[in-house]
Amino acid sequence: MNDDLADCVLRALPDFDSLSSVILVSRQIYDVFNRHPVSIVRSVAYNKIGPSLPQALRLARHKKDQYDPVNWPPEAEVMNVPITVQERHIIARNAHIVSQLEDLFSWSHKNQFSTTSVLSNEESKRFHRAMYRFWLFADAFRPEYDDWDGETETFDGPKNSFFQQLPDKTELYEFVRIVQFLTETVRWVGAATGEVFNELAGNAMHMADEMGFALSGGPRVILQMFKDKSGAPLLAITDPWETDSLPADFTFIKTSLSDVFQARNLKRPDWNSHEMKKTILDEYEQYTRPCHLCAKTGDRLWSASNWPFLKGYAPPLTFARSMKGNLTLNRHETNGLQQYLQRPTLCYASFMDWMFDNKDTSGQYRDLTRDDWICQECLQTFVNSKLHLWWLERQRAEGMPVRTEDCWYGYNCRTQRYYTHAMKLNHLCAPTRGDPA
Ligand SMILES: [Zn+2]
Ligand SMILES: [Zn+2]
């Protein structure tokens, strides 16, 4: 291989791991690399990260004690400084997180039938650029919660300078779209776990902005919360409910964004509008495919391929409150079921699998398979028909105390609203006598 060809090959490598291995293949390749190490590393970084490399690099270079964006290297200049080995590791690790978030964004807003990203290059560029910018915002302005003494810097000035570096209206809306997407992801976790992240409504300042606290964790923590179906990764930063470290007037990003919108005379985004749905995407999911069971269009559809995402959409609370007959009156069973479903280890995929393994083989579900796309309403009706049996089976499998004697009226019993009766007889069964008193 001549040197020019070796140089081209090095520049075309997709990531730093390949670069590290290839330069050790021969002395000649090693020498070729050492003639232009800076530009070869930059080319490989570009291959790995794409056009959002300046934003990715700026994030990787940010130091926690540099509060004021005025002192950060501008995006347009950040590429002029060679990329260090340590920065290579950071940008590779961050890119992995951003690409998983892109998969989730693509599934939830672009194409509900694919759980890996189908964003175009242009859409992906906007997504990454804005995600790295928000990540930098979170890293730079996340308060030192545990040292909060009520007087701690709220970074109003630096936050303002941050947005001044985003003069373009379109790119500002892209940034806000990312904040919105991460907010949705935190809400998903909240629904799946039964934890609440209070959000500031309007200008209400009477309660701490818990959603702001969650957002301050940044993309890495929010993705981890989603993957773990748990608030634990966030509480690793601090537990504001234990330490009182979140003052009532705390707001992380919402107030700063309102100020920017006001200062620039821009309207607040309506995320349901066509215009705002197209902030990052050129084409977004329109939900035109009909439900396999009821033929309705306009809703997100579910099949085995996206059951792992179901938990935040059809939360444990909803299932627990829709068990068959009068079981909804039975607090012992509904609370128990809700808490059981909220366990982070409880994956809806296995829960749904059981529903299909145990479905009625006659009637409307006879031909329904795991791969058929059904709307949430139909899915809930399907699950509710067997949910009490699944719950009884799970309690037995987990060694929880179950009542051995069935109530005659089964799930239709009205007396099960009383604790003593609910604790005495099993109601997770069909009635053997009609009309309960
Ligand atoms: Zn349906
Ligand atoms: Zn009863």
Tell me the pLDDT of the chain (437 aa) as tens digits.
789 999 999 999 999 999 999 999 999 999 999 999 999 999 999 999 999 999 999 999 998 878 899 999 999 999 999 999 999 999 999 999 999 999 999 999 999 999 999 999 999 999 999 999 999 999 999 887 766 665 556 788 899 999 999 989 999 999 999 999 999 999 999 999 988 787 765 545 556 688 999 999 999 999 999 999 999 999 888 777 776 667 777 788 988 999 999 999 998 889 889 999 999 999 999 999 999 999 999 999 999 999 999 999 999 999 999 999 999 999 999 999 999 999 999 999 999 999 999 998 888 999 999 999 999 999 999 999 999 999 999 999 999 998 999 999 999 999 999 999 999 999 999 999 876 55
Q: Residues with beta carbon < 5 A to ion ligand 2?
A: 407, 413, 415-416
Centre of ligand 2 to C-alpha 343, Å, is: 28
What is the 107 CA–ligand 2 centroid distance (Å)?
44
Distance 412 CA to ligand 2 centre (A): 8
Ramachandran sector of residue 150 (left: φ over 0; alpha: ψ -120 to 50; beta: rest): left
- Ligand number, closest to the Cα atom of 287: 1
Amino acid (one-letter) located at 129: R
* Ligand 2 centroid distance, CA of 436 (Å): 8
Cα(378) to centroid of ligand 1, in Å? 4
pLDDT attached to residue 209? 80
Cα–Cα distance, 305 to 313 (Å, whole number): 15
3-state secondary structure of 78: helix
- Give kind and range of the element (H or E) at residue 52: none
Which numbered ligand comes closest to the C-alpha of 436?
2
CA–centroid distance, residue 295 to ligand 1 (Å): 6
Which ligand is in closest contact with the Cα of 425?
Answer: 2
**Gap from CA of 386 to ligand 2 centroid (Å):** 19
How far away, in angstroms, is 393 Cα from ligand 2 center? 19
**Do 56 and 95 contact (CB within 8 A), yes or no?**
yes
CA of 337 relative to ligand 1 center, distance in Å: 25
Neighbours of 383 (CB within 10 A): 20
Q: Cα(389)–Cα(426) distance, rounded to whole angstroms?
A: 11
Distance 355 CA to ligand 2 centre (A): 25
Q: How far is the CA of 292 from the centre of ligand 1 (A)?
A: 7
CB 208 within 8 Å of CB 240: yes
Tell how far the Cα of 407 is from the centroid of ligand 2, in angstroms: 5
Closest-lying ligand to the alpha carbon of 302? 1
Distance 391 CA to ligand 2 centre (A): 17
Q: Which ligand is nearest to the CA of 382?
A: 1
SS3 299: coil
What is the greatest pairwise CA distance in the chain?
A: 92
Place of tokens 């234990």: 242
Going from the Cα of 380 to the center of ligand 1, the distance in angstroms, rounded, reads 9
Lookup result for tokens 């009477």: 206
> How many residues would you count in the chain?
437
Q: Measured in angstroms, how far is the CA atom of residue 376 from the centroid of ligand 1?
A: 7
Sequence letter at residue 65: D
The residue ranges of every structural domain in the chain are: 1-35, 51-277, 301-424
So what's the pLDDT on residue 65? 79
Q: For the beta carbon of residue 283, count every other beta carbon within 10 angstroms.
A: 13
- Phi, psi angle pair for 15, to nearest 5°: -160, 175
Cα 381 to ligand 2 centre (Å): 24
- How many angstroms does the Cα of residue 382 sit away from the middle of ligand 2? 24
Q: Could you tell me the distance, in angstroms and rounded to a whole number, from the CA of residue 149 to the centre of ligand 2? A: 55
